[in-house]
Structure 1
Amino acid sequence: MTFRNALLAATLLGLPLLSPLAAQAQTTPVTGVYIGAGGGVNFLQESDLDTKGGAASFLRGNGVSRSGTAEFSTGFTGVLALGYGFGNGVRAEIEGNYRQNDVDKLSGYSGFGRLNSSGTARSYGAMFNAYYDFHQLGWPVVPYIGAGAGYVWNDYDNVTARAANGGSLTVDGSDGQFAYQGIVGASLPITAVPGLAVTAEYRFLGTLQSEIDSTIRLGNTVQARGKTEVDSYNHSIMLGLRYAFNQPVPPAPVPVAAPVAPAAAPAPARTYLVFFDFDRADLTDRARQIIAEAAQNAGRVQATRIEVAGHADRSGTPQYNQRLSQRRAEAVAAELVRLGVARTAITVQAFGESRPLVPTADGVREPQNRRVEIVLR
């Protein structure tokens, strides 16, 4: 299995995530503790086998090359992870992993004659991974990239090359080495279960070269012992599940305000503007002062209706800005309620980038458009 084919398989596995059902998924950033599990197929690249020590001397002394090559059948892999999301797309996790591939063919060792092959290669270990989720794209499927480092044991279980004359070379044992990996994937949030997501990803895992115990036999008699250097480069295609605890629930649909009969002599509306930092929905100290003033005046003028409307600038996609303006409006409404305003008197709306205070071109960051308007009526 070539590296190109592995990437193609990863793409094909990810296609179901682009189904029409995914269009309704929310892409809230992972916040807090999460767990994950996944499994799939593993492609172990062919490995050079370089025999050392007494076994190598015995081979050379008998006119046999000390070097060979191992090719492996398609195997399987599984991972378990415990991680933490920082709410801004960045995640960190600890992962345990396992991979297994059977030997398909052993070649080389010229002078040994035609070889029969058998055995299994396994690897298992622990990794520390860091990820970045591209949730700000506003897509129903969230792409992500990651990288990791850790420690992995390469275990060769009776990997044996047998010659027609009864001679054999067996590589059997394990050796731990520093490991590294790169990850490319995508997650599909499941709206019915907040915090749950299906994941599909490609992983490359490699280790430093390991040295495994090796034995040369003639029949059942041991002729020499030594070590064999082996490589470990894995390409894995995986599907999994991830569950984030305490994940924020997506905001409920904006309620439609009931029509209010006009008063005989309506009081003039009072408007307050609350501004936000770029791509943020949390309240600054100045914002809280303005909201407090609006809450006090709502009591003084006996406002019968308080309209809270969220807006965003034109940096980012319209879909993402719509959700961002909704979060801003909900944050202001929550602060008004905290200050004693009845929630039933508040109407919350979100306009995204559709009603700019200062008209701009698409993609422009305009501070005056990142706002929530509070209107007392």
Structure 2
Amino acid sequence: MMAAAALAPSLAQAQTNTPGFYVGVEGGLNWLDLPRTSSEKLGFGLGGVVGYDFVGPRLELEGVWRKNKAVGRNIDQFGGFVNGLYDFTFEGSPLSPHVGIGVGVNHVDSRGTKFAMQGIVGVRYQFDNGLFASADYKLVDTFVSGRDIYDHSAMLTLGYKFGQPARVEAPPPAPVPAARQSYVVFFDFDRADITQPAMQTIQQAAASAKAGNRTSLSVTGHADRSGGDTYNMALSMRRANAVKDALVRQGISPAAIQVLARGESEPLVPTADGVREPQNRRVEIVIN
């Protein structure tokens, strides 16, 4: 598998994000906007969250205390919200922008406990060991007798997501007999198109086969576990046939090429079901 390690060092650093519970503490600045009052001052907010990440959608409970000085006195707020958020994830990237909305109650000093809503925009960074950091802007609207009270909060959350796997490193290349040569061609998610790096690998394999007068090649297609078994078996076969056709265009006889498909049954990097893993989307070329 020496070609795999040479062609895809960046893929070995791809992160795998999985569903799981998370907890966090938050803190930041808060601007309290009271109706018909011009003496608002910058205050602060502290709170905590507990939630579940579905990888994309998230659902969380939030408790927060905000403190500001306005109209000549301190004003404390105690809020509780149910937040629904959506993360826009990008394969291999630890950064995920998100948007969300929350509903709940907010207790504002003498005004009592009132219904409140909030809008959320922000970005989260997921570290390798389950830790994450999130920077958010939250606009809270508290409904008080027709005179809404607004809070503008800039909050930083530090948290931990349970069950988050560490960064997956590519396994060391397995030793192969001197009489055999092995090459690996990688594919984009849910695609069987030959990319430019993949074509370079195919050209190397074809040149090696012709230089050594090899008469037998096996081409085995694989898929990751993000789809169903039947679909992945068909996808791995399409990938294997695409590599075979490219080898034939490089001068290899079709009769010398054996085409096989393994679907998701033989992953290069073991993952849970439903996980996208770039190194498992591959075709292995073995020259005998």
Bucket of the pairwise TM-score, normalised by the shorter protein: 0.5 to 0.7
Give the residue type in structure 2 aligned to 1:268: S
Cα-to-partner distance string for 1:282-309 (whole Å, 9 max, x where unaligned): 4423546999xxxxxxxxxxxxxxxx9x
Does structure 1 residue 126 correspond to structure 2 residue 89?
Answer: no
Gaps of 5+ in 1: 1-23, 49-68, 106-117, 156-172, 211-228, 292-307, 312-328, 338-347, 352-370
What is the alpha-carbon distance in structure 2 between the residues aligned to residue 127 and residue 42 of structure 1?
A: 17
Is the 1:29–1:133 Cα contact (8 Å) retained in structure 2? no
State which of 32, 39, 42 in structure 1 corresponds to 2:20: 32
Taking the TM superposition and a 5 Å limit, the aligned residue runs for 1:196-345 are 196-210=131-145, 231-258=148-175, 260-262=177-179, 268-274=216-222, 281-285=226-230, 287=232, 332-334=265-267
Task: Give TM-score scaled by structure 1 length.
Answer: 0.49
Is the 1:125–1:152 Cα contact (8 Å) retained in structure 2? yes
Give the residue type in structure 2 aligned to 1:196: L
Cα-to-partner distance string for 1:315-345 (whole Å, 9 max, x where unaligned): xxxxxxxxxxxxxx995434999xxxxxxxx
What is the alpha-carbon distance in structure 1 between the residues aligned to residue 149 and residue 91 of structure 2?
A: 36
Q: Secondary structure at the match of 2:86?
A: strand
Q: Which has the larger radius of gyration?
A: 1
For the aligned residue pairs, the C-alpha RMSD in angstroms reads 3.9
Is the 2:94–2:127 Cα contact (8 Å) retained in structure 1? no
Give the residue type in structure 1 aligned to 2:134: T
Shifted more, 26-35 versus 173-182: the winner is: 26-35
Gaps of 5+ in 2: 1-11, 181-211, 244-261, 271-276
Give the residue type in structure 2 aligned to 1:251: V
State which of 41, 46, 52 in structure 2 corresponds to 1:84: 52
Give the residue type in structure 1 aligned to 2:163: N
Higher strand share: 1
Is the 1:27–1:142 Cα contact (8 Å) retained in structure 2? no
1:27 positional shift: 5.4
Cα-to-partner distance string for 1:29-49 (whole Å, 9 max, x where unaligned): 45111112110110001323x
Q: Secondary structure at the match of 1:72?
A: coil
Is the 2:229–2:263 Cα contact (8 Å) retained in structure 1? no
What is the alpha-carbon distance in structure 2 between the residues aligned to residue 335 and residue 121 of structure 1?
A: 58
Percent identity over paired residues: 29
Change in Cα spacing, 1:140 to 1:85, as seen in structure 2 (3 Å) is: closer
What is the alpha-carbon distance in structure 1 between the residues aligned to residue 13 and residue 66 of structure 2?
A: 32
Residue in structure 2 matched with residue 358 of structure 1 by the alignment = none
1:26 positional shift: 5.9
Task: Give TM-score scaled by structure 2 length.
Answer: 0.62
Give the residue type in structure 2 aligned to 1:145: V
Change in Cα spacing, 1:77 to 1:28, as seen in structure 2 (3 Å) is: farther
Is the 1:185–1:202 Cα contact (8 Å) retained in structure 2? yes
What is the alpha-carbon distance in structure 2 between the residues aligned to residue 76 and residue 349 of structure 1?
A: 43
Q: Secondary structure at the match of 2:169?
A: coil
What is the alpha-carbon distance in structure 2 between the residues aligned to residue 330 and residue 30 of structure 1?
A: 22
What is the alpha-carbon distance in structure 2 between the residues aligned to residue 26 and residue 189 of structure 1?
A: 12
Q: Secondary structure at the match of 2:216?
A: coil
What is the alpha-carbon distance in structure 2 between the residues aligned to residue 177 and residue 26 of structure 1?
A: 45
Does structure 1 residue 184 correspond to structure 2 residue 121?
Answer: yes
What is the alpha-carbon distance in structure 2 between the residues aligned to residue 25 and residue 174 of structure 1?
A: 53
**Aligned residues between the structures:** 217
Residue in structure 2 matched with residue 101 of structure 1 by the alignment = 68
Is the 1:189–1:195 Cα contact (8 Å) retained in structure 2? yes
1:250 positional shift: 2.7
